[in-house]
Chains A and B, each alone.
Chain A
């Protein structure tokens, strides 16, 4: 799974406006990457830990979210949660020319990456 994810992210990232990304694999291992100096590794790691927990907020509301967007004045964080608990977060500058369709496509493809027990993995 790690290899499949890494290959996928290498192929699809960065997209314009991407400051950092973070990935949690189904086994709980977390990796991240910063694409500029705006966000530090420590910031991305801590924020990702908090954001990944946000899916649980929805579960308490009896709703199982698959994607979330956190929108700040200067930052847009989009997250995608897979059924196997793999999670991808993209930290994007919140600017007018963000390629949102491309971002959405990355999330959708991440969600559809085969799981370790699926054929084709």
Chain B
């Protein structure tokens, strides 16, 4: 709007080196002549807390940080803040780390050169990235505004647009032409099934882009009926993406079952059915969040799994117990199963109707 002060670019620097952070704030504030607003965080927890409070144009991560390093945090951000511009700024740049970071979504991989020229180069690169023209279209979070509402608005306004929907595991597109939904696709699904699946997602992000003609039109019904059918299926918990992709469904069968691989011989102590799964977190051996569902506090859970793994390692050394498989914790209400395998760690919290005794 005319007369308005231009919005300051928001930068978040994440580094465990406090001297570096304070130097960056001072130097880049001067260099930007006040056009940058710079935030700092000493670790991923602080960074996540800041990102929950405000959006950042660019997040700049150090690679070598305790607890969760920059690469792990980059992967976590890709999951929790898809689309966030992330730059790696490291003093230990290697070709392998560069490749890994770029593959995991880093917009830039910069070397931390503690020289005037080095800082200028970093500043210039970040300035260019932050000033890059925003992509045409709008972005939104599905938790704040329902995908159905967006579709309704587009259809009511007889607009033509392309709605891109994505979560950590699911990506899809819904094509709207002159107020009619004409095509949807998600993974191998197309048509109404893909539409219903996308509308059944419980969270994620979307981009509303200019219309582009799909390769074919697979949906012809009135949008009102399509949205009503999607709502009905959602109420019944029968959205196609939930059934088509096991990774998107809360795996109710996990509690009290033998999940995978070579198992110790004795079964778990029995669980009184019915069991209700309340929370699931699955992370890879390298700490990447592969799947999370209703996780109360991701950071806290990740920290918990790390501590648990350390304790299990210690116990494996103390006792002739063999490989650790899992730990189960029962509270008066909850039952928690934490499985630790070389390639993954799983956290499942459940409640049973009759309490949570192991």
Q: Is the interface of B mostly helix, strand, loop or mixed?
A: mixed
Interchain CB contact under 8 A, B318 and A43: yes
Cα-based distance from A54 to B310 in the complex (angstroms): 11
Q: Encode A6-50 as 1/0 by CB contact (under 8 A) with B.
A: 000000000000000000000000000000001100010011001
Chain B residues in 8 Å Cβ range of A98: 266
Does A2 interact with chain B (Cβ within 8 Å)?
no
Interchain CB contact under 8 A, A69 and B269: yes
Cα-based distance from A75 to B315 in the complex (angstroms): 11
Chain B residues in 8 Å Cβ range of A72: 264, 315-316, 319, 321-325
Chain A residues in 8 Å Cβ range of B330: 65-68
Cα-based distance from A53 to B307 in the complex (angstroms): 11
Interchain CB contact under 8 A, A95 and B266: yes
Does A100 interact with chain B (Cβ within 8 Å)?
yes
Chain A residues in 8 Å Cβ range of B321: 72-75
Mark out the residues of chain A between 100 and 115 whose CB falls within 8 Å of any chain B CB in the assembled complex. Answer: 100, 103-104, 108
Interchain CB contact under 8 A, B264 and A100: no
Identify the A interface with B (CB < 8 A).
38-39, 43, 46-47, 50-51, 53-54, 57-58, 60-61, 63-78, 91, 94-96, 98, 100, 103-104, 108
Tell me which of B265, B308, B332, B336 contacts A96 (CB under 8 A): B265
Chain A residues in 8 Å Cβ range of B319: 39, 43, 47, 72, 75, 91
Chain A residues in 8 Å Cβ range of B269: 69, 78, 100, 103-104
Instruction: Pull 19 A–B residue pairs with CB atoms less than 8 Å apart, ordered by A.
Output: A43-B320, A47-B319, A57-B311, A64-B331, A67-B357, A68-B327, A69-B358, A71-B264, A73-B324, A73-B325, A74-B321, A76-B264, A77-B315, A78-B358, A94-B264, A94-B266, A96-B265, A100-B266, A104-B357
Chain A residues in 8 Å Cβ range of B265: 94-96
Tell me which of A66, A78, A95, A96 contacts B331 (CB under 8 A): A66
Chain B residues in 8 Å Cβ range of A100: 266-267, 269-270
User: Shortest CB–CB separation between residue A17 and chain B, in angstroms?
Assistant: 9
Cα-based distance from A66 to B357 in the complex (angstroms): 9
Identify the B interface with A (CB < 8 A).
264-270, 300-301, 303-304, 307-308, 311-312, 314-316, 318-332, 334, 336, 357-358
Interchain CB contact under 8 A, A74 and B320: yes
Q: Is the interface of A mostly helix, strand, loop or mixed?
A: mixed
Tell me which of B314, B320, B325 contacts A71 (CB under 8 A): B325
Chain A residues in 8 Å Cβ range of B301: 61
Chain B residues in 8 Å Cβ range of A95: 265-266
User: Shortest CB–CB separation between residue A42 and chain B, in angstroms?
Assistant: 9
Cα-based distance from A74 to B263 in the complex (angstroms): 10
Cα-based distance from A96 to B266 in the complex (angstroms): 4
Chain A residues in 8 Å Cβ range of B328: 68-69, 71
Q: With A63-B329, A68-B327 in contact, do A38 and B320 touch (Cβ < 8 Å)?
A: yes
Chain B residues in 8 Å Cβ range of A70: 312, 315, 324, 327
Interchain CB contact under 8 A, A57 and B307: yes
Chain B residues in 8 Å Cβ range of A51: 315
Cα-based distance from A54 to B323 in the complex (angstroms): 18
Closest Cβ neighbor of B330 among chain A residues: A67
Cα-based distance from A100 to B318 in the complex (angstroms): 24
Q: With A39-B320, A63-B336, A64-B331 in contact, do A69 and B268 touch (Cβ < 8 Å)?
A: yes
Interchain CB contact under 8 A, B331 and A63: yes
Cα-based distance from A69 to B315 in the complex (angstroms): 13
Sample of 13 further A-B pairs with CB below 8 A, known A58-B331, A65-B329, A73-B321: A38-B320, A57-B304, A66-B331, A68-B329, A68-B330, A69-B268, A70-B324, A71-B327, A75-B320, A76-B266, A94-B266, A95-B265, A100-B266
